Structures are given as structure tokens and as C-alpha cells.
Amino acid sequence: MPSAAAANPASPPAVQAAMSLARESRLLASSASILGWDQETMMPSGGLEHRARQLAQLARLEHGMATDPRLGDALSAAEAEVASLPETHPDRVNVRECRRDYDKATKLPADLVEELASVASIAQHEWAEARKASDFARFRPWLERIVELNRRKADCFGWDRADGERWDALADSFEPGCTAKHVSGVFGPLRERLVPLIEAVRTAPRRPDGRFNDHPMDIDAQERFGRFVCGALGFDFARGRLDRSTHPFCGGSHCNDVRMTSRYSERCLLDGLGSSMHETGHGMYEQGLDPAWISTPMGEAVSLSIHESQSRLWENQVGRGMPFCTWAKAQMGRHFGTAADGFTAAQVYEAANMVEPGFIRVDADEATYNLHVMVRFELERAMISGALEAKDLPGEWNRLYKEYLGLTVPDDRRGCLQDVHWSGGMIGYFPTYTLGTLYAAQFFETAREAIPGLEEGFARGEFRALRDWLNANIHRQGRRWLSDDLCRQVTGKTLGADAFLRHLEGKLRPMYGI
């Protein structure tokens, strides 16, 4: 087995030299990632100040390695060596993607990077205070600065001036190749069918039975049950962990050391279970990356949206389906004694699929979640283009919530101040949540065609065929293709909303009698 530090011996010499340098910064980043995980799960609160210094030092060193001119020179030499190889050859992919990362890292001047980091750190504090007091005026000057700095950042990266817009350059950091035009081309048809579907649910003749969402279960037993389910889905606990944290996430250092976290609610088993299954999707993507290519693009995930497609697939396509609910309900006796005896699998299923428009994105159900994302995409796009001034954000936010979700936003705390992303300087991030949801539905339809009896197997607790299919078709591909090219490779089609809408309508129409 090749060691993580050595270059791949089959690669030509200039490629090996470039990859050795590229691996250095990635190796350091993987150490920072373990410290970050430790901070959220194990570290006593007294460690915070020193940990911040440790992480800042590692980030500085990593940036130095990632922008080292020697790496740029080594990549130029490697580019000549791989020029005649096919586009998807691992060596060519590694050189191309390292060049993409290097150009991104070197295009921003150091003073802009520093200014962004320091403004974002104050802005996050001001945002937290403003949110508590529901006081948009307090956050507004910081939002204006964040938008201004992001516009400068986009200008440093550059974008297609004939056919694109500034927002594209920002989204590219989270989702390589993503453009506002592509996103709105996918979101438009989704919104057209989603808004009337949710309206029909609101006024539906039948109300599903949601009582299982309000049924206290022992927290420690929930955690043990979560571990049991994640293991059954195919997460390898010899190469990963599941711990508790305030905000669930998936981190770790590489494919053989994946650190997931979840959180549990006393009142509702499905909250914690859904979050554990979500992180397991992320975790199995990380574990499925090719160990032969550790610390190179061929051993890395494609993008945020493809990562999110893996988590949403296990959380929504599998976890909210009747076959899974049937199996999971049958396992509850072993973990909870008689605590869930009063419920049937059908009641668990209905509770998992309730649709309830609300103000808060992170609490939203599978259907309305995407409308929350669309509002944010439209508003950040308009702020970056200059069509919307920060001072007009609350009014526009509230207008879109009325139009898309039929809700009157009562205050900015439950409105435009609810998310951390913009205060942290992250513009161009939100659409990846919904793109991931749509990729998940499209991948799952393809998997169902490819694997006979797939969902019947779920009802018996057999999930490995799906994990192995995702492993071969998505995880092992590394960064060989950008998101939408991967989608075409796997499903034969470019990304659209149809598969997701079929999935949603197929469940909600019978459940609500519409």
C-alpha cells in the first residue's frame, strides 16, 4: 500500500515532484482539521484561546505552502508532461486540479485576505449580538463591508464578462464551475412546482399523524441507536467515529480517520437520527475516497454540492422512505425497550415526512427547505451585482418569504439575521444545499434502476449495495469531473429538478390526500 507521504510511483517524474509539494499543504490542513474536531467535541472551554492561536498558525503555514512559487513552477513542468494524456487520466486530473487550487490561492493579495478575515471575525460577533436583539441596523454596516470586500475578491478571481456575473467568481470557491445562470436555470422550474405543492399541503384535506415527532426517548439510547444505524448503512467504525457536538458536522484527517458528530433531542428521535444519517452520508463519501490518492485531488471530494448530495441521499431518499422506516421501527425494541411500542412504522414514516412552512431554514422540512435557499441565493446575487443595497435587505427578504412560503416574517431575528454565512464572509455558498438535494434525487433514481430490489432490501436492513454503488460511481472518482459532468457520467443527464419533484410528489400527494 502506498504511503500517504510518498508520491505515486507510477506517475511521471515532474508530476511526482509537483504532487509531493501539493501534499505538504494538504497534510498540514488535515492536522488542523483534527484540532478543529477536538475543539468542538473534547476540548475544555479553557483551551479556546490557545487553540485559536494554534489554528491561526497552521492556517498561515498552510497558505504559505499552497502559494509557494516552487509549487507553481513544479505544476508548469508537470503540465507539459501530462499534456498528451486523456483528460480523465489520474495524473492529468491531479495536475489540472492542483493548478486550479494554486491559481485560486495566489490570485488574492495578502492584504485582502487579512482584511476579509478580520472584518468577518468582528462581523460575526456583531451579527450574533444583532440577531439576539433582532436589530438589523447594528449588523448593516458590517454586511455592507462584507459585500464590498467580496466584490473586490470576485474581481481578483475574475469571471466571464461576456456571459457571467460577479457572483460566479465567489460561488466557484465552493462549487467549481458554478454560475448564477446555471443555478437559476435549475431553481426556476423547481420553484414553479414547489410553491403550489406546498400551498396544496397547507390546505390539504388530510393531516398526517405527526405524534412520533413529540415523543420523548432516552438520549443515551438514541445515541447507541444512531451508531447502530450508521454502522448498518455502511459507515466503518474502524476508520471513523461518531461523537456529540452542538452543531453536527463531518471532519477528520483523511479517508481512514473520519470524525462525525451529531446531536440528539429528548423530544424527538427523528431529529438526531436524521442528523446522524446525514453526517453518515458525508462520512461514507470521505471513507470511500481512494486511499492510493490520499492528499491529492484524485483522493478528494468534488465540491460542496456533491458532498451534500451524499448526505441528503441517506437522510432523505433512504431515511425518509417507508422501507427504511419499516426496518428502523423493527429495531427500536432492542434499543429502547417498550418506549416506541405504541407506534407503527407508518406513523414513524408520516412523522418523518411532515411539511410545515416555517421561518427558520435549519428547522425546515425536506420540501420547504429549498425555498429558504432560493430566497438567499436571489438576495446575495442581487447584493453582489449592486441591484440590492444592504439597507433594503430586510424588506426584500420579507417580501420573498411571503411570495414563496406564504409567511409574514415577524422580526429580523427570524428573518434576514438568522444565518451565520454572510457574517462569516461566505457568499455563494447557499445554493450548494439545494443543488446537493437535487443531485441526491437524481443519483438515487439511477441507483434504483441499476440495483434490482434496492428498496426491498432496505426493509430487511440491507444497505451495502447502495453504499458500494455510490463508492464506485462517485467516491472513487475523486475530482476527475466537476459536479455537473459527474452527474452526466453517472445519470446520463445534466442536473434538473424532475427527479426530486417526483420523489416529493410521490410521497406528499398520498400522505396529504392532494
Which CB atom, from 217 or from 304, has the smaller least distance to Zn ion?
304
**CA distance linking residue 217 with residue 105, whole number of Å:** 48
Given a contact cutoff of 8 angstroms between Cβ atoms, the answer to whether 299 and 478 are in contact is yes
* Shortest reach from residue 275's CB to Zn ion, in Å: 9
Burial of 171 (0-12, 13-18, 19+ CB in 10 A): buried
Write 260-266 long-range contacts (CB < 8 A, 24+).
260/230, 260/235, 261/37, 261/40, 261/41, 262/223, 262/226, 264/219, 264/222, 264/223, 264/226, 266/216, 266/217, 266/219
Residue nearest to Zn ion (CB): 311
* Shortest reach from residue 304's CB to Zn ion, in Å: 9
287-326 positions binding Zn ion, by CB under 5 A:
311
* Shortest reach from residue 247's CB to Zn ion, in Å: 11
188-207 positions binding Zn ion, by CB under 5 A:
none
For the chain, what is the largest distance between any 2 Cα atoms, rounded to a whole number of angstroms?
69
* Shortest reach from residue 278's CB to Zn ion, in Å: 6
Spell out, one character per residue from 92 to 111, where the chain touches Zn ion: x when CB under 5 A holds, - when not: --------------------
Which CB atom, from 312 or from 381, has the smaller least distance to Zn ion?
312
Active-site residue flag, 279: yes
Strand locations in 63-133, DSSP E?
none
Residues paired with 254 in a beta bridge? 257
- Give the closest residue to 19 by CA, choosing from 298, 258, 279, 251: 298
Distances (CA, A) of 346 to 88, 327, 329: 46, 11, 9
- Give the closest residue to 282 by CA, choosing from 251, 323, 239, 316: 251
* Shortest reach from residue 308's CB to Zn ion, in Å: 5
* Shortest reach from residue 418's CB to Zn ion, in Å: 18
How many residues of this chain bind Zn ion (CB under 5 A)?
A: 1
Which CB atom, from 175 or from 412, has the smaller least distance to Zn ion?
175
Cβ neighbors of 444 (< 8 A, separation 6 or more) are 313, 317, 318, 499, 503
Spell out, one character per residue from 467 to 496, where the chain touches Zn ion: x when CB under 5 A holds, - when not: ------------------------------
151-180 positions binding Zn ion, by CB under 5 A:
none
| Residue 240 DSSP symbol | E
Catalytic residue among 279, 315, 366, 378: 279
218-247 positions binding Zn ion, by CB under 5 A:
none
Which CB atom, from 311 or from 370, has the smaller least distance to Zn ion?
311
**CA distance linking residue 512 with residue 200, whole number of Å:** 9
The residues assigned a catalytic role are 279
The residues of the shown chain that bind Zn ion, judged by CB under 5 A, are 311
